[in-house]
Amino acid sequence: MKEKTFTIIDGYGFLFRAYYVLPHLITTTGMPIGGVYGFLNMVLKYIAHSDYLTIALDAGKKNFRHNLYPEYKANRVTPPEDLTPQFTILREAVEAFNLSYEEIEGYEADDIIATLAAKYANHQDFKVVVVSSDKDLFQLLNHNILIFDPIKNIYIDEKQVIEKFGVNSHKLLDLFSLTGDASDNIPGVPGIGPKTAAKLLDEFDSLNNIIENIDNIEQTRIRNILAEHKEKALISRELLSLCEKVDLQHDIAKCEVRPPNMEKLLSFLKKYEFNSLIGKMEKLFSYNGSSAKEKIEYSSEELEKFLEHCRYEGRIAIHCHFEDNLLNKISLSYSESNIFYIEQDSIQDALIIINSTLLSNGALKIIHNIKEIRKIFPTVEKMLDSVDDLMIMSYSLDTGKHDHSIPNIVAHNLSENAEIFSAKTLIAIHEKLKQRLFQEKLFTIYERFDKPLMKVIFDMEKNGILLNIQKLQELSDKFQQVIAVLEDEIYNLAGERFNIASPKQLSDVLFNKMGLNKKKKSKKSGSYSTNYEVLEALEEEGVEIASKILNWRHLSKLKGTYTDALIKQVDPLDGRIHTSFSTTATATGRLSSSNPNLQNIPIRSEEGNLIRQAFIAPKGHKIISADYSQIELRLLAHVANVAAFKEAFANGQDIHEITARQVFGVQEIDEQLRRKAKSINFGIIYGISPFGLAKRLGITIAEAAEYINYYFSCYPEIKAYMEKAVSIARLHGYVETLFGRRCFVRDINNTIPYIRQFAERAAINAPLQGTAADIIKRATIQLFDQLKVGKIILQVHDELLVEVEDEKVQETAKLMKDIMESAIEISVPLEVEIKVGDNWGLNSLNYDLNIVNSRSINHLN
C-alpha cells in the first residue's frame, strides 16, 4: 500500500509571516486581508502534495504553561490592529477551502502538532510532514517525522540541526532550556548562550546530567551561574516541552484533501477579493463550469472549417492555456456554445493554419493580453484595429480597481461558476465589458485612448533606444570608485569593517556599538531601523556616518539598477535597449515600463543626468525631447478654477514666484524662496501633510502647517477642489479625469487612519495625474499617425522622445510641439519644452523653433 502524506501546518506561523510580507493589503471596503491572502497562497502549495492535511491553531487564551510560570509570554506585544480581524477571516478561509483545522483551549498549536505527529509517526500508512519555521518544533524531528521549513524552502535534517545548534534534535529541548527564549519570556540560565549550552550537552549529554554534575564543570563562572539558576533551567524545560497527549478526538478522515464546494469557495473569494486564487483552485482541483454545447476535436480540416464559421459570425475568441510557462492548450470560440480545442500535440500544426488565416480573416479577434498573445500569433500585431483585448477593456473600465487577469475580470463581471480557462468565457466577458463601456460612458476611453495606444507601444518597443555602452561602463567604474572611498570612510567612522548592505549589521554598528540616537524598531526583525528616514534624521543631527551611508546607498542603487544592469540588457544585434511597456499597471492611466524600468531614472540629480547621457542618437540623427511644463499645476488651475494661477499661466508668469510672494509676503524673491514655493505648489498637488512639508523645507511642523493654512487662504479654490475630490472618492470609490476616465481609490474608506490618508492624497492627485496621462496618450497617438520621418522611442511621464535625422529636426520638433500643446482645450495654455541633442541628457537650453538654421540646435553632449 502506498504511503500517504499527512501534512500538519503551523497556521499562525504562516499568518504572521504572510502579514509582514503584505502588511497593507486590503479590500476595496478597507478590510485588511494581506495575512490571510499570503497564508492561503502558501497553504495551496502543500494541498497539491498532500493526501491528508490539517492546520494547527492557537485558541488565543492562556494555557497550562501560564499556570506553571505566570510570566510566560508576558512580554508579547499586542498584534497590529489590522492583523487582529484576520484571525477570524483565517478560520472562515480554512472552512471555505474545505480544510481541516485543530485548536483546543489550554494548549498551543505546537502541542497539537506534537500530538498529531506522535500519533501518526509510527503508523505504517502515513508519512508525517510538519510545516513550520519554529525552532521549538525541530525537537520532533526523527526518521518518521519530517520537518519542512517554508521560509528556507527545505526539509530540515539532523545535519542542519547540528550545524545550526551544535546538538542533534534529541538534545534541542535541553539546549533551549539552558538558553531560554526572550521572545516567549522563558528565562533559561542567564549568561549561557547556544555555544556554551551545546558544549555542556556534548560533555554531559542531558540537562539532568549537567545539574547532577555541576561541581564537575571546569569553568568557575558557568559552574556558579548554573548552581544559582538551575531551577530556571528546569522550569524552562517544562515550558518548552511539547505536550504529545492533547485530547483532540481527532478523525483523520476529516483531514483528507478533497475538492471544496466551489460555490461556497467562490463566494468567499469574491467577498474578500481574492480573485487571483480562483484560477489556482480551478487548476488544482480541475474544476470546470458548465460545458459548451459543442466541442470539436482537432483536425486541420475541422480547424479551417471552424475558422470559416468565425469569419461568417464576425468574431473569434482565442484563449491560450499555459502549464509551467509552456503552451499546452488553445481554445477558439465564436459563441458561448461553440468551442474548438487544440491539445498540446496538435498545437504546432494549428499555429501555422491560424496565423496564416488571421490576416485574411476580417472577424473581430477577442483575446486577453495582446502582448503575450502576439508571441504565439505574431500576425495579430498587423491587425490591431480588429482586435479587442479584454485586459485593456477591463482597465479602461476599472483603472486602479484591481489587476486585470482573467480570474479577476471574471470575478468582477460574470457569475461565480463561470469557467475560467476557455475561449467561450472570453466571448462572455467581451459581451459584458462592451455593454459596460457604453453604459458607463467609457467607450471613448477605450476606443480613442487605450486601444489605439497599443500600436504605438509595439512600435516603441521595437524601435528601442541606442545605448553608449562605453560611457555607461566608465560611469559604472566612477561610481564604484566613489563607493569604495565611501566604504573606507564608513569603516573608519565605525571603527570596524562590516556588511553595509545588511540592515541588521548596520543597526548593530550604529546603535549598539556607536551608541547613536535610536529612532524606531523594525517590527519584523526586532532590530533598530536603518531606513532612509532614520538615516536622514541622523544626518540632520550632524551624524557624519549617516550621510556617508545615504550616499553609499544612492550610488550603489544607481550602479546596480542602471549602469551595470542596462549594459546587460542591451540587444547585441542592434545595440539598443528594448524596454517593455505596460498600459494596465498604474492607477491613473500612466504608462509603466520594465526590463529595464526607464520611468524611474532620477530626473533632477547630476548622476541621473549622466545616465541619461548614455542614451544616444545614431550618427546623423538627433534625439528630440518634448516635455510638458508644469502640466499638473496647469490642470489644477483649470479644474479648481484658480484665478491667480490662470492669470499667471495666461501671461507666461513664473507661478512659483507668484506663490512665494503670496505665502511669504515679500516682493523680492530669491532662489531659495522660489524653491520653497515650488515645494509647496507641487506638495499641495499630492496632498502633502504639515509633517511632510516640514521635512521637505527643513522647518518645524507648526511652521509648515502655518504655510499650508495661509496657502489655502490665498487660494481657497484649491482647498475646495481637494475637499470635493475626497468627497467624490468616498461616495463613488473613484475620481475622474477630464476625459472621464475613472481612477479607483481603493482605500478611501479604510478604518486605519494612515492608510485612509494616503488614499485621500491619491484622490486629490489622481484627476490631475490621470488627465496628464490621458493628454500625453492622445498626443502620442496623434504624433504616431502624423509622423512622416523619425520614430518615437520613449514616453516617460510627461515627456516624449523622438529619434530623427539631422535635417528633419526642425519640422519634427514643430510637429511635436503643435500636437502636444493642442491635445486638449482648457482655460490655461499648455506649454511644451523642446530640447534637441545627441543624447537624452537634458542639460541644454530650450530649442528655439523660430530659428531655422543649423546653429539653433542645442546639442546635449
Q: What is the pLDDT of residues 541-566, one digit of tens each?
A: 888 999 999 999 999 988 988 999 99
Cα–Cα distances in angstroms (integers) from residue 478 to residues 448, 508, 600, 839, in the given order? 46, 30, 21, 20
Q: What is the pLDDT of residues 63-78, one digit of tens each?
A: 888 888 888 888 777 7
Cell 490592529 sits on residue: 81
Q: What is the pLDDT of residues 590-610, one digit of tens each?
A: 988 888 888 888 777 788 888
Q: Under a CB-based contact definition with an 8 Å cutoff, are residues 805 and 480 in contact?
A: no
> Which residues, including other chains, have CB under 8 Å from residue 718's CB and lie 6 or more apart?
636, 640, 642, 684, 711, 712
Helix (H) / strand (E) containing 581: strand 580-582
Alpha carbon distance 184, 72 (integer Å): 6
Rounded to a whole number of angstroms, the distance between the first and last alpha carbons of the chain is: 76
Averaged pLDDT of the chain: 86
Cβ atoms < 10 Å from Cβ of 47? 19
The average pLDDT across 805-827 equals 94
Lowest mean pLDDT among 302-306, 348-352, 663-667: 663-667
Supply angle C-alpha 620, 626, 628, rounded to 5.
170
Find, among 634, 646, 663, the residue nearest to 772 by Cα.
634
Cell (9 digits) for 782? 496623434
The highest-level CATH class for domain 288-440 is alpha beta
Give the residue range(s) of CATH 1.20.1060.10 domains in the chain: 466-577
The three-state secondary structure class of 222 is helix
CA 183 to chain centre: 30
Q: Provide the CATH topology of domain 466-577.
A: Taq DNA Polymerase; Chain T, domain 4 (1.20.1060)
Alpha carbon distance 577, 563 (integer Å): 13
Beta bridge partners of 296: 340
The average pLDDT across 447-467 equals 94
Q: Give the sign of the dihedral formed by CA 254, CA 255, CA 258, CA 262.
A: positive
Assess whether the previous peptide bond of 596 is cis (omega < 30° from 0).
yes
The average pLDDT across 787-796 equals 93
Q: What are phi and psi of 403, to 5 degrees?
A: -75, 170
Give the residue range(s) of CATH 3.30.420.10 domains in the chain: 288-440
Alpha carbon distance 833, 848 (integer Å): 10
Q: Under a CB-based contact definition with an 8 Å cutoff, are residues 408 and 402 in contact?
A: yes
Find, among 205, 203, 206, 224, the residue nearest to 214 by Cα.
224
Reply yes or no on whether the pLDDT at 343 is more than 90.
Answer: no
Alpha carbon distance 103, 63 (integer Å): 12
Cβ atoms < 10 Å from Cβ of 602? 16
Reply yes or no on whether the pLDDT at 500 is more than 60.
Answer: yes
> Which residues, including other chains, have CB under 8 Å from residue 434's CB and lie 6 or more apart?
388, 393
The average pLDDT across 709-733 equals 92
DSSP state of 411: H
Tell me which CATH homologous superfamily contains domain 4-253: 5'-nuclease (3.40.50.1010)
The average pLDDT across 273-295 equals 59
Beta bridge partners of 326: 323
> Which residues, including other chains, have CB under 8 Å from residue 182's CB and lie 6 or more apart?
75
Find, among 849, 838, 858, the residue nearest to 815 by Cα.
849
Q: Give 848 or 322, the one with higher predicted confidence.
A: 322
Give the residue range(s) of CATH 3.40.50.1010 domains in the chain: 4-253
Supply angle C-alpha 79, 83, 89, rounded to 5.
130
Cα–Cα distances in angstroms (integers) from residue 275 to residues 21, 265, 334, 371, 372, in the given order? 19, 11, 26, 22, 21
**Cα Rg, the chain, nearest whole Å:** 32
Q: Under a CB-based contact definition with an 8 Å cutoff, are residues 138 and 156 in contact?
A: yes
Supply angle C-alpha 92, 94, 96, rounded to 5.
70
Cell (9 digits) for 182? 526572550
Reply yes or no on whether the pLDDT at 843 is more than 60.
Answer: no
- Pairing between β-strand 621-628 and β-strand 832-837 as defined by DSSP bridges: antiparallel
pLDDT at 48: 76
> Which residues, including other chains, have CB under 8 Å from residue 680's CB and lie 6 or more apart?
659, 663, 693, 707, 708, 711
Q: What is the pLDDT of residues 395-409, one digit of tens each?
A: 999 998 878 888 888
pLDDT at 598: 87
Beta bridge partners of 66: none
Cβ atoms < 10 Å from Cβ of 703? 14
Q: What is the dihedral of CA 814, 820, 822, 827, to 10 degrees?
A: -130
Q: What is the pLDDT of residues 15-28, one digit of tens each?
A: 888 888 766 678 87
Alpha carbon distance 681, 689 (integer Å): 13
Alpha carbon distance 463, 461 (integer Å): 6
Cα–Cα distances in angstroms (integers) from residue 565 to residues 209, 469, 558, 573, 592, in the given order? 58, 11, 9, 18, 18
What totals of helices (H) and strands (E) does the chain contain, helices first?
35, 23
DSSP state of 520: -
Q: Under a CB-based contact definition with an 8 Å cutoff, are residues 827 and 834 in contact?
A: no
